[in-house]
Structure 1
Amino acid sequence: MKEAVDINCDMGEAFGRWRIGDAHDEELISLISSANIATGFHAGDPNLMDETVRIAAAHGVGVGAHPGYNDLQGFGRRKINGTSREIINDLIYQVGALREFARRHGVPVQHVKPHGALYMELAANTDLSQIFIQYMRTAAPNMFVFCMDGSATCLAAQEAGQPIVREFYADRDYGDTGWIVFTRDAGRPDPKAIARKVIRACTEGLVRTVNGTDIPIVFDSICFHSDTLGALDIVRHMREALVAEGIKVAPVSQILNSDAARRSHEQA
């Protein structure tokens, strides 16, 4: 059973006057511990990036870059073909932009979490993941990479020594492989059912797949999406359920550093 867990959320996912989802970032920010901030290619713009970093910093929430494919029309959930160099350079460009806004507000960029179709492509593409991790080792060797356990991204990071945060997806379904079932429209899920799913993952280490199979799940952070309908109710029910089980919500850096210290003590 977990003693503490991080909650991360994709945020700043708008563009100019365009908005998606029915929750406001200002409402969600106080209920999470890590924010994945859109960096302009699938959503986000300079003013919104600046504002989202500002409110994350004000609430002590970890700031993360959330780069995606250059796909505003498709919200980054369509694969965009390109060479590995082109794709990684797009990612580097976006991370660099968010770093400057984080610098402006006096906070570090805690992590990088690719978005949507780019996240899934990296998860399956060993060569692309290795190039991504090589960039991280050069530019940000202490920055967390958010990924699914067992994915190509996870394995490349572990082999290279890049710190990782493995995710559990609260508002997405799982297949029997342990990967999320990619969807462009999650509808309006039941927040109580999601809370029960999260608690089972935290207490039993299991999740039920779309085929009705119970599979083990390993994770450090719970993810939900601000564009999911009912996102505010989802995170409220999750937090209430976690508190009822005696599970703390804490920044991922605090959790992982505490776990590392405990393992070191146990081995001494």
Structure 2
Amino acid sequence: MVAIDLNCDMGESFGNYTMGRDAEVMPYITSANIAGGYHAGDPHVMRETVALAAEHDVGIGIHPGLPDKMGFGRRTMDATPEEVRDYVLYQLGALTAFAKRHGAEVQHVKPHGAMYSMLSESPDHARAVMEAVLEVDPSLVYLATDMNIYEVAQEFDALDAVFEGYVDLDYNADRTLIVEKEVAPKDPDLVADRVVNIANHGEIEAVDGTTLDLPAESICIHGDGPNAVELLEAIHDRLDEENVDIARLDELV
């Protein structure tokens, strides 16, 4: 049976600021990318998010970002490969401690925002992070957000990498994502169609009508979208109709 993972960025609240709809979204996903406290999140939110994921048997992953809460980790920063490696290890260590407290394990790594862009543009930065991940825990899955990163991951025989696709954002013909400044509600039927098409055919349609190869085994849904739960309900219904299973990342590799 065909299977696909549904992942979501979570734990991005901090202090008095609430981001996302984690409690509503968690029952519908199989993998949670939890902020490590640099671009968002704090120790209390990390603990609460890990507990929520463990309650729903959702795979736990670190969503490391650059140390830039004011810019939500989306601003460009000058950092060496070694510095970015240490940022990832620091945040991975924090999440691992909370996971152990709840009798869970960390299953994956998915860099956030400007850090992801840095790894996509610089193979040296990407390799430094992947080498460090393997040194800490060879069983960790690397969730690759674009083909540049995915291709670097293929250099490491011991590293399990899963390619990620998006269905609540549009793609340009060059496979880059169109990131909206203001998030509008998405059409649940369209989003569900995209998930099924990726799962069964490894394809998605770009905004210009071009059919793109998208060999994704994991689909990201943005939990802070105005109708995120409605989208996830529609996705679950369609996958059930199409006999496509939903599985955690550690069950796909």
What interval of TM-score do these two structures reach, taking the shorter chain for normalisation?
Answer: over 0.9
Amino acid across the alignment from 1:157: A
Q: Aligned pair 1:231/2:218, yes or no?
A: no
Secondary structure of 2:178's aligned partner: coil
Distance in structure 1 (CA, Å) of the matches to 2:51 and 2:165: 26
1:189–1:73 CA distance, 2 compared to 1 (3 A): farther
Shift of the alpha carbon at 1:45? Answer: 0.6
Query: Is the contact made by 2:170 and 2:178 (CA closer than 8 Å) also made in structure 1?
Result: yes
**Equivalent residue in structure 2 for 1:128, among 116, 125, 129:** 125
1:82–1:149 CA distance, 2 compared to 1 (3 A): closer
For residues 138-158 of structure 1, the C-alpha deviation after alignment (integer angstroms, 9 at most, x for no partner) is 11211000003522x222222
TM-score (norm 1): 0.88
Distance in structure 1 (CA, Å) of the matches to 2:76 and 2:178: 15
CA RMSD of aligned residues (A): 1.7
**Equivalent residue in structure 2 for 1:219, among 216, 222, 233:** 216
Secondary structure of 2:219's aligned partner: strand
Percent identity of the aligned residues?
38
Query: Is the contact made by 1:77 and 1:184 (CA closer than 8 Å) also made in structure 2?
Result: no
Q: Aligned pair 1:209/2:203, yes or no?
A: no
Name 1:178's counterpart in structure 2.
175
1:154–1:223 CA distance, 2 compared to 1 (3 A): same
Unmatched segments (≥5 aa) in structure 1:
257-268
Name 1:99's counterpart in structure 2.
96
Amino acid across the alignment from 1:172: L
1:123–1:182 CA distance, 2 compared to 1 (3 A): farther
Aligned residues: 252
Q: Aligned pair 1:3/2:21, yes or no?
A: no
Shift of the alpha carbon at 1:187? Answer: 2.9
Name 2:186's counterpart in structure 1.
189
Shift of the alpha carbon at 1:76? Answer: 1.6
Name 2:150's counterpart in structure 1.
154
Distance in structure 2 (CA, Å) of the matches to 1:84 and 1:72: 21
Shift of the alpha carbon at 1:184? Answer: 4.8
Unmatched segments (≥5 aa) in structure 2:
none
For residues 102-159 of structure 1, the C-alpha deviation after alignment (integer angstroms, 9 at most, x for no partner) is 11111110001001221122122111001111111211211000003522x2222221
How is 1:67-106 mapped onto 2 (pairs within 5 angstroms)?
A: 67-106=64-103
1:224–1:59 CA distance, 2 compared to 1 (3 A): same
Distance in structure 2 (CA, Å) of the matches to 1:142 and 1:158: 15
Which 10-residue stretch deviates more, 128-137 or 204-213? 204-213
Query: Is the contact made by 2:146 and 2:163 (CA closer than 8 Å) also made in structure 1?
Result: yes
1:76–1:228 CA distance, 2 compared to 1 (3 A): farther
TM-score (norm 2): 0.93
Amino acid across the alignment from 2:59: G
Query: Is the contact made by 1:42 and 1:70 (CA closer than 8 Å) also made in structure 2?
Result: yes
